[in-house]
Structure 1
Amino acid sequence: MDDLDALIVGGGAVGIACALALARRGRSVLIAESEPLFGSMTSSRNSEVIHAGLYYPPGSLKARLCVRGRDLLYAFCADRGVPHRQLGKIVFAHDEGERPALERIARRAADSGAGDLAWLDRRDIARLEPALPAVAALLSPRTGILDSHAYMTAMLGEVEARGGQIVCGARVAALRRSGDAWSVFIEGEAEPVLSARQVVNAAGLGAQELAARTEGFDPSAIPARLLVPGCYFGYSGPVPFRHLIYPVPVPGGLGTHLTLDLAGRAKFGPNVRPPIEAEDYVVDPAQHDQFAAAARRIWPGLDADLLVPAYAGLRPKVAVPPGQEPDFVISDAARHGCPGLVALFGIESPGLTASLAIGEEVAERLELGPGATTLDTAA
């Protein structure tokens, strides 16, 4: 049975970033990914946006790790030749009733250190994006887009260059404590296949299930999972926009927005639908009229016949009391009682942007012990 420093369960962007942070600290690491290909679940079903950190409560993990992760991500992409573009984002008020929402975003962004926001009036909007019907807007120049698969491939390349490995098609069935290490059981195998002194549960949609199969993991430390679906529709024609265009947020999401890929193709989404019980990635064509109505708030001249179903994703949210905003949950032994293990729950947007910073946070907690954060080493 192989003996490792660290096992990372989950080969999405966050899991690979955790492996990279540990490999950079000299750890021997192995990534176990249940799917046939790495990064093929939540990490490949999103807008591929590099978020600036505008929306999240100051002091939250989302706010802190998004801003830190944004800067790390731009530097990593530039250094490794990962395709990306800092297009900038416009968040707009469609009418005067939405202006207070913009003011709240501006205050949060300032308090969270996102910075660099500029207010736009009607004249500014007409100059930058004349097709956008808005009374006011915020320009976020630090927002951008990237090729998420190229990003994950580049991270994985460095992990492997430092001696790490990834095994796909390997679903971790259980984790059991054995002395000062973890015995790792793979689905279909009766005996443990390896031992790891440290484990990172970055299983995404499956994080709660794995936590429940981890020996000694306090059940009260497993937050309830909500699977919140969101669909995207593509636009099969040119669009008159150069920036990413976002409405003010709606309950459960950022609102159906317009994003561009690196080839200039546009898509609208994701929408927000009620939570579902099981994973489902079907895009119902019957949502077309809903998407057309949302898209016309951004672009009244849109040709609805060119809107076509694209793909769906699932937000791995954690359930919170009414009126509370969900945050990332980075759970270590101080919370769940398992030494040498960090579990990640609710890593939805801006998880892709924050991935390198999440990796730093996880590595610090494993290195310094329960309750440690990257703030401890920044002081």
Structure 2
Amino acid sequence: MPTTNTTAAVIGAGVVGLAVARALAQRGHEVFVLEAEQAIGTQTSSRSSEVIHAGIYYPPGSLKARLCVEGRHQLYAYCTQRNIGHRRTGKLIVATDADQLVALQALAQRAAANGVNDLQWLTASQAQALEPALRCHAALLSPSTGIIDSHSLMLALQGDLEQAGGVLALCSPAVRIEADARLLTIITHDGTQLPVDFVVNAAGHGAIPLARRTAGLAAGHIPTAYFVKGQYFSLTGKAPFQHLIYPIPVPGGLGIHLTLDLGGQARFGPDAQFVERADDLQVNPDDLPRFAAAIRSYWPDLPAERLQPGYAGMRPNIGGPAATFSDFIIQDACTHGIPGLINLFGIESPGLTACLAIAEEVARRADLQRLR
């Protein structure tokens, strides 16, 4: 276990940053969390689908696959322990025509390779018995997929952090990181210098710009940042579905799917558009017909007049438009050579599901670095 005078700074108070800070504080580190905004979780963490993913989609052996499966188990247990709003809704992944059956079978095989062993193959009639409004040729039922109140989760993580002695500083953007042989020093926007033993760069969209302002970090260790905008359209009135409904994945995302909030309201999305700026968060009403057409592939009776522009999120992507997959990067001194520095790059979906597992991985690496 770390000594009580070991200090750590976590930059970014989204769901992953808070989970990491909590894990470090509970191991005995003196932890400071620096957040640029006026509240926790106002960026990527507040603009997601709030889905607890099972771990179906990611290549076996990837960090996303392992940490999603581990994190899903941890997250359900934590929600139960802390009375955080959540529900195991289950999810149907649907093949909307016969040509998609091979892709659906491939998903089942990938899920099994990732340790997701509860998927059930449903015929069209079996799927429609669960969801009468659904149209499909076949479906995979994922019973362990669910939904969560992400803000309540972040408040619980903050509470655990502070109970363990950690400190959260809002309106405190880090502008650069300097290093010497013994300590890392964070310089904030007002010139404050914070010397610490460890820095975890969990700044989301700000992680790559901050890495570029980290003394001694070679450019070759810093990926290129891309911004993937995902729009959501909300459904007014009561939804005819009890499960989440997902189409076969498309390049760049999981397709325009139906998710529910804990109040039972439905939303559709996200789509995936590469854009130039992280603050490009306006929903384009002209995209409604495109959304409606995608939704009608599995819900043919959708009344388009019930679709309304909802909100948009922005994924901190590091793969770019040509990539078929980009994994999480958890980068420590074994890669970049700067003792005490851990960078988190490309923490997009399933980052919410994996947050507790990511935190355990970061804390483990921090402890290993301390022992070297």
TM range (shorter): over 0.9
What SS class does the counterpart of residue 33 from structure 2 fall into?
A: strand
Shift, 1:257, TM fit: 0.2
Within 2, Cα distance between the matches of 1:136 and 1:44?
A: 33
Asked whether 1:194 is paired with 2:184, we answer: no
Q: Offset at 1:322?
A: 4.6
Find the counterpart in structure 2 of residue 256 from structure 1: 256
8 Å Cα contact 1:66-1:354 kept in structure 2: yes
Distance 2:158 2:9 in 1: 14
| 1:321, distance to aligned residue in structure 2 (A) | 9.2
The alignment's TM-score, normalised by the length of structure 2, stands at: 0.96
SS of the residue corresponding to residue 153 of structure 1 reads helix
Q: Quick check: 1:68–1:354 contact (8 Å CA) kept in 2?
A: yes
Match of residue 63 from structure 2:
61
Counterpart position of 1:235:
235
Distance 2:25 2:278 in 1: 34
Which residue in the other structure is 1:108 paired with? 110
**Pairing 1:82-161 to 2, within 5 Å after superposition:** 82-161=84-163
Is residue 87–residue 141 contact of structure 1 (8 Å, CA) maintained in 2? yes
Range with bigger deviation, 314-323 or 215-224: 314-323
User: 2:321 and 2:109 mapped to 1: Cα distance?
Assistant: 24
Q: Distance in 2 between the 1:141 and 1:37 partners?
A: 34
**How many residues align structurally?**
367
* Mapped partners of 1:282, 1:88: distance in 2: 30
C-alpha separation in 1, matches of 2:180 and 2:114: 42
- More deviation, 155-164/313-322: 313-322
Q: Which amino acid aligns with 1:219?
A: A
Q: Is the counterpart of residue 270 in structure 1 residue 259 in structure 2?
A: no
* Structure 1 residue 148 displacement after superposition: 0.1
Q: In 2, distance between residues paired with 1:153 and 1:34?
A: 17
1:308-329 deviations in whole A, cap 9, x for unaligned? Answer: 1110011111126956510001
- 1:163 corresponds to 2:165: yes
SS at 2:273 equivalent: coil
SS in 2 for 1:142: coil
Could you tell me how far 1:298 is from its partner in structure 2? 2.5
Q: What's the CA shift for 1:278?
A: 4.5
Q: Which residue of 1 aligns with 2:298?
A: 298
- AA in 1 matched with 2:203: A
Give the direction of change, closer, same or farther, for the CA distance of 1:321–1:276 in structure 2 (3 Å limit): closer
Determine the structure 2 residue equivalent to 1:349.
349
SS at match of 1:359: helix
Within 5 Å, which residues of 2 pair with 1:5-20?
5-20=7-22
2-structure distance, mates of 1:201, 1:144: 29
Whole-Å Cα distance in 1 between the matches of residues 205 and 270 of structure 2?
Answer: 18
Deviation for aligned residue 1:178: 3.6
Partner of 2:178, secondary structure, is strand
1:215 counterpart residue number: 215
In the TM superposition, residue 291 of structure 1 has moved relative to its aligned partner by: 1.2
Give the letter aligned to residue 139 of structure 1: L
Kindly state the Cα deviation for residue 179 of structure 1 after the two structures are TM-superposed.
4.1
1:329 and 2:329 correspond: yes
Matched AA of 1:46: S
Whether the 8 Å contact between 1:227 and 1:279 is mirrored in structure 2 is no
C-alpha distance in 1, partners of 2:34/2:323? 36
What is the letter of the counterpart of residue 348 of structure 2? E
Provide Cα deviations, 1:9-33, integer angstroms capped at 9, x if missing partner: 0000000010011011111101101
Structural mapping, 1:27-42, within 5 Å: 27-42=29-44
The CA distance in 1 between the partners of 2:323 and 2:360, in whole Å, is 30
Q: Give the letter for the 1:15 counterpart.
A: G
| Contact map agreement 1:256 1:295 (CA 8 A) in 2 | yes
Unaligned runs of 5+ in 2: none
Aligned residue for 2:274, secondary structure, equals: coil
Segment of structure 1 superposing worse, 180-189 or 195-204 = 180-189
Amino acid at match of 1:300: P
Report how far residue 221 of structure 1 moved. 0.4
**1:85-104: per-residue Cα shift (whole Å, max 9, x none)?**
00100000000011111111
Q: Give the aligned residue type for 1:97.
A: D
Equivalent position of 2:77 in the other structure: 75
Change (3 A) 1:36 1:321: closer
Query: What secondary structure sits across from 1:16 in the alignment?
Result: helix
2:23 aligns with one of 10, 21, 24:
21
Q: 1:184 to 1:323 in 2, by over 3 A?
A: closer
Contact 2:95 2:104 in 1 (8 A): yes
Counterpart in the other structure of 1:376:
none
TM-score by length of 1: 0.94
- Partners of 2:319 and 2:325 within 8 A in 1: no
What secondary structure does 1:369 align onto?
Answer: helix
* % identity of equivalent residues: 50
Give 2:340's aligned residue: 340
Whole-Å separation in 2 of the counterparts to 1:323 and 1:42:
21
Give 4+ residue runs of structure 1 displaced > 6 Å after superposition: none
- Quote the offset at 1:306 in angstroms: 1.1
Distance 1:259 1:283 in 2: 17
Does the 8 Å contact 1:229/1:276 carry over to 2? no
Match of residue 377 from structure 1: none
Unaligned runs of 5+ in 1: 373-379
**C-alpha separation in 1, matches of 2:329 and 2:341:** 14
